[in-house]
């Protein structure tokens, strides 16, 4: 029944997760454990490297207490973002601080062997470049541009990833690096990245990625929402009025993506005489001051806003973050979205709703992938298991010595 230890080491560690330093006395008070008990537990956490002394605190008239805090540099984590035509990886510490990055122009359509081969090489290089050991690697997080069954880490019927269907991504990497591998949809990953970057205490947020396609990553109640088949957040093919007669690449008509994603915007701009091939060109035009492009982007914002308004009523997030390539058009896109949302949503749902642009930008995905991995590594259960393993090793050493 475990009455003797109502608070487990993992839970004690959870208190240190916020990064702020604690004294032993504080921990003892909060957990209800004796100070001596806290000492022994902190010791094991220090031996694991997860916790480190954090200077000393000011004395309050007597011996100054020792402070302890999460040691972000104890372990390494790699966050990987696989896009349609590019790949990016970031080596981070346990605080999500980037220690090294790598880019590559690589087609996801080249297949899993080639892409994951790049990942394997890059992980090794990044770790070496920052003068750390590969044994410090604690986990790998990966975002893929398609539906992923998160529990198994396998892509499910991904439209733009030939050869990846049900491929065992974690298995491939674990064959080289014996660490947990967490895989998820790239938009979900971006949502986690934005949350990590500037919305740490927001439990209900939606990230909308506007690029070649349009998708959403939904965090609700602090948990990433993946849906029954791992395809939650598919905003792109929701019906909007202005797209009624527009054919979408999915074969249907009326899809948001058909009027508000990158290719559609470029086409709209061209129709009005300006030159643009991709969504990126449109963003450049907006930045260059093109009134035509601004109007087009703003209208796209209104279209997206129509869907965001529905979503606000359905999911009731407290923050909506706009990311992806088109977020580069900044306020113009946002203004259109806000226009629709505040017109269409219920007051109660929008009262405290914030609609903002991405701050993590192009790094949102790798940061999110890293965050996913960190979340796993620092979870109470995993920490608990690590402590247990250390104790078992101690016991074995003790037995061998006698």
Partner DNA sequence: ACACTTTTGCCGGGTGCTCGACAAAAGTAG
Partner DNA sequence: CTACTTTTGTCGAGCACCCGGCAAAAGTGT
- Interface residue list for DNA (CB under 7 A): 1-5, 23-25, 32-37, 39-41, 56, 59-66, 391, 395
- DSSP of 360-380, one letter per residue? SGGGHHHHHHHHHHHHHHTSH
Residue 7-46 contact track with a copy of itself, rule CB under 8 A, x = bound: -xx-------------------------------x--x--
Which of a copy of itself, DNA, none is residue 311 near (CB under 5 to 8 Å by kind)?
a copy of itself
* By the rule CB under 8 A, 5 interacts with a copy of itself: yes
Residues 130-159 touching a copy of itself, rule: CB under 8 A, are 147, 156-157
**254 vs 323 by CB, closer to a copy of itself:** 254
Q: Which residues pair with 215 in a beta bridge?
A: 209
Q: How far is the CB of 64 from DNA (least distance, A)?
A: 5
Which of DNA, a copy of itself, none is residue 348 near (CB under 5 to 8 Å by kind)?
a copy of itself
Count how many Cα atoms sit within 13 Å of the Cα of residue 352 in the half-sphere of its side chain. Answer: 6
- DSSP of 274-310, one letter per residue? ---SSHHHHHHHHHHT-HHHHHHHHHHHHHHHHHHHH
Encoding tokens for residue 151? Answer: 């529990």
Q: How many CB atoms lie within 10 A of CB 397?
A: 9
Residue 320-359 contact track with a copy of itself, rule CB under 8 A, x = bound: -----------------------xxxx-xx-xx-------
Residue 191 contacts residue 375 (beta carbons within 8 Å): no
Find the binder of a copy of itself among 101, 136, 168, 204 (CB under 8 A).
204
**63 vs 352 by CB, closer to DNA:** 63
Which residue is it, tokens 């209104």?
302
Give the number of residues in contact with a copy of itself, rule: CB under 8 A: 61
Residue 225-264 contact track with a copy of itself, rule CB under 8 A, x = bound: xxxxxxxxxxx-xxx-x--------x-x-x----------
Sign for the CA dihedral angle at 42, 48, 51, 54 comes to positive
Find the binder of a copy of itself among 315, 327, 341, 373 (CB under 8 A).
315
Q: Which residues pair with 288 in a beta bridge?
A: none
Count how many Cα atoms sit within 13 Å of the Cα of residue 150 in the half-sphere of its side chain. Answer: 21
Taking alpha carbons only, the member of 338, 332, 321, 334 closest to residue 287 is 332
**292 vs 311 by CB, closer to a copy of itself:** 311
Residue 63 phi/psi, 5° resolution?
Answer: -65, 130
**26 vs 318 by CB, closer to DNA:** 26
The stretch among 26-34, 170-178, 305-313, 370-378 that binds a copy of itself (CB under 8 A) is 305-313
**49 vs 65 by CB, closer to DNA:** 65
Q: How far apart are CA 230 and CA 232, in angstroms?
A: 6
* By the rule CB under 8 A, 379 interacts with a copy of itself: no
Find the binder of a copy of itself among 27, 137, 243, 387 (CB under 8 A).
387
Which of a copy of itself, DNA, none is residue 65 near (CB under 5 to 8 Å by kind)?
DNA
Encoding tokens for residue 393? Answer: 């090793």
Residue 184-203 contact track with a copy of itself, rule CB under 8 A, x = bound: -------------------x
- Count Cβ neighbours within 10 Å for each residue of 172-211 and write b for 16 or more, e otherwise: bbeeebebbbbbbbbbbbbbbbbbbbebeebebbbbbbbb
Taking 3-state DSSP, the helix, strand and coil percentages for the chain, each rounded to the nearest 5, stand at 45, 20, 35
Residue 162 contacts residue 392 (beta carbons within 8 Å): no
* List of residues contacting a copy of itself (CB under 8 A): 1-6, 8-9, 41, 44, 147, 156-157, 203-204, 216, 218, 220-221, 223, 225-235, 237-239, 241, 250, 252, 254, 306-307, 309-311, 313-318, 343-346, 348-349, 351-352, 384, 387-388, 391
């Amino acid at each position: 029944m475990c009455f003797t230890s109502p608070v487990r080491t993992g839970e004690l560690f959870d208190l240190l997760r916020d990064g702020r330093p604690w004294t032993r006395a504080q921990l003892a008070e909060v957990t209800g454990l004796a100070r001596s008990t806290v000492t022994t537990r902190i010791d094991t956490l220090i031996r694991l490297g997860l916790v480190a002394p954090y200077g000393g605190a000011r004395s309050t008239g007597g011996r100054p207490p020792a402070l302890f805090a999460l040691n972000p540099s104890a372990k390494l984590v790699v966050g990987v973002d696989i896009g349609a035509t590019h790949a990016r990886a970031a080596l981070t510490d346990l605080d999500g601080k980037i220690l090294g990055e790598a880019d590559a122009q690589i087609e996801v359509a080249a297949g899993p062997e080639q892409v994951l081969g790049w990942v394997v090489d890059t992980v090794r290089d990044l770790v070496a470049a920052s003068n750390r050991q590969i044994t410090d690697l604690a986990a790998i997080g990966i975002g893929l541009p398609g539906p992923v069954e998160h529990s198994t880490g396998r892509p499910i019927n991904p439209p733009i990833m030939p050869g990846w269907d049900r491929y065992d991504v974690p298995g491939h990497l674990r064959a080289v690096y014996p660490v947990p591998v967490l895989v998820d949809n790239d938009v979900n990953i971006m949502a986690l990245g934005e949350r990590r970057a500037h919305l740490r205490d927001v439990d209900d947020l939606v990230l909308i990625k506007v690029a070649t396609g349009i998708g959403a990553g939904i965090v609700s109640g602090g948990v990433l929402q993946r849906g029954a088949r791992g395809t939650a957040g598919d905003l792109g093919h929701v019906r909007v009025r202005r797209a009624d007669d527009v054919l979408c690449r999915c074969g249907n008509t009326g899809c948001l993506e058909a009027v508000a994603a990158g290719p559609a915007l470029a086409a709209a701009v061209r129709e009005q005489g300006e030159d643009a091939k991709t969504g990126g060109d449109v963003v450049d035009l907006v930045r260059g001051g093109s009134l035509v492009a601004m109007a087009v982007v703003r209208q796209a914002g209104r279209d997206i806003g129509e869907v965001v308004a529905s979503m606000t009523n359905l999911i009731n997030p407290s923050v909506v973050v706009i990311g992806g390539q088109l977020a580069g058009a900044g306020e113009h896109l946002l203004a259109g979205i806000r226009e629709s949302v505040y017109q269409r949503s219920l007051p109660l749902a929008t009262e405290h709703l914030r609609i903002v642009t991405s701050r993590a930008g192009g790094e949102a995905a790798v940061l999110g992938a890293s965050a996913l991995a960190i979340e796993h590594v620092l979870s109470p259960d995993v920490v608990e298991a690590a402590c247990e393993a250390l104790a078992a090793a101690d016991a074995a050493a003790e037995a061998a010595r006698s």
